[in-house]
């Protein structure tokens, strides 16, 4: 199953299936759930959100799209214009996915704001060990 890229400035009110709409200006992407349930899936773009890459073969989004908030609970990758299906997520996987997302954010903000307490504790620990 293929998904085409359409670069837009603002998201159209009506999305077509099989199209990934990307607004780099507003750092957001949207598409209709690849399972065909027609739910709108919005994916913010940014260092702690999804990463959009425009390959010659088609668009890619990283990480995967986990629609656990939708009734269909579909999970897939958009990889170079191709929909690659994954298994449905169990509750444990959903929790693990959310925890990984948290860690990604924490790491990102620790780099941005090195004076936050966790960064100071980390440096102190490193100095004790080193």
Compute the distance between CA of residue 58 and CA of residue 80 in angstroms, rounded to an integer: 4
Segment lying near Zn ion (by CB under 5 A), choices 3-11, 44-52, 67-75, 104-112: 67-75
22 counts as binding Zn ion under rule CB under 5 A: no
- Of 37, 95, 96, 99, which one interacts with Zn ion (CB under 5 A)? 37
How is 24-52 classified by DSSP, letter by letter? TTTTEEEEE-TTTT--EEEEEBSTTSBEE
Segment lying near Zn ion (by CB under 5 A), choices 32-40, 77-85, 86-94, 113-121: 32-40
33 counts as binding Zn ion under rule CB under 5 A: yes
Segment lying near Zn ion (by CB under 5 A), choices 13-21, 74-82, 99-107, 118-126: 74-82
- Of 28, 43, 60, 74, which one interacts with Zn ion (CB under 5 A)? 74
- Of 15, 19, 35, 94, which one interacts with Zn ion (CB under 5 A)? 35
Compute the distance between CA of residue 57 and CA of residue 116 in angstroms, rounded to an integer: 42
Contact of 70 with 39, CB cutoff 8 Å? yes
72 counts as binding Zn ion under rule CB under 5 A: yes
Residue 79 Cβ vs Zn ion, minimum distance, rounded to whole Å: 18
Contact of 33 with 1, CB cutoff 8 Å? no
Compute the distance between CA of residue 59 and CA of residue 30 in angstroms, rounded to an integer: 12
40 closest CA partner among 13, 22, 58: 13
**Can you give the binding site for Zn ion, defined by CB under 5 A?**
33, 35, 37, 72, 74
């Amino acid at each position: 199953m293929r998904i085409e890229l359409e670069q837009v400035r603002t998201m159209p009110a009506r999305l077509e299936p099989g199209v990934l709409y990307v607004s780099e200006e507003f750092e957001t992407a949207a598409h209709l759930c690849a399972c065909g349930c027609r739910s709108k899936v919005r994916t913010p773009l940014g260092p702690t959100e999804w990463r959009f890459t425009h390959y010659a073969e088609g668009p890619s989004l990283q990480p995967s799209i986990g629609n656990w908030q939708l009734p269909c609970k579909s999970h897939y990758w958009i990889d170079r214009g191709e929909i690659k299906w994954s298994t449905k997520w169990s509750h444990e996987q959903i929790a693990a996915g959310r925890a990984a997302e948290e860690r990604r954010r924490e790491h990102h903000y620790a780099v941005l704001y090195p004076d936050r307490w966790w960064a100071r504790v980390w440096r102190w620990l490193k100095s004790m060990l080193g």
